[in-house]
Amino acid sequence: MSIAFYLPNSSMEVDGEDEVGAAEPRPMGVKASKTASKRKKSGREEELEKLQGILEKKDKISKQKVLERLLAKNDPLSEMETSLKLKLMSEML
Q: What is the pLDDT of residues 77-86, one digit of tens each?
A: 999 999 999 9
What does the chain look like in DSSP terms, one character per residue? ---EEE-TTSS-EEETTEE-SPPPPPPP-HHHHHHHHTPPPPHHHHHHHHHHHHHHHHHHHHHHHHHHHHHH--SPPPHHHHHHHHHHHHHH-
Q: Is the pTM of this model over 0.75?
A: no
Lowest mean pLDDT among 12-16, 18-22, 49-53, 88-92: 12-16
Q: For 18-69, how does the pLDDT look when each residue is reduced to its tens digit (9 = 90+)?
A: 455 556 776 777 777 777 667 777 788 889 999 999 999 999 999 999 999 9
Number of Cβ within a 10 Å radius of residue 88: 16
Confidence of residue 92 (pLDDT cuts 50, 70, 90): confident
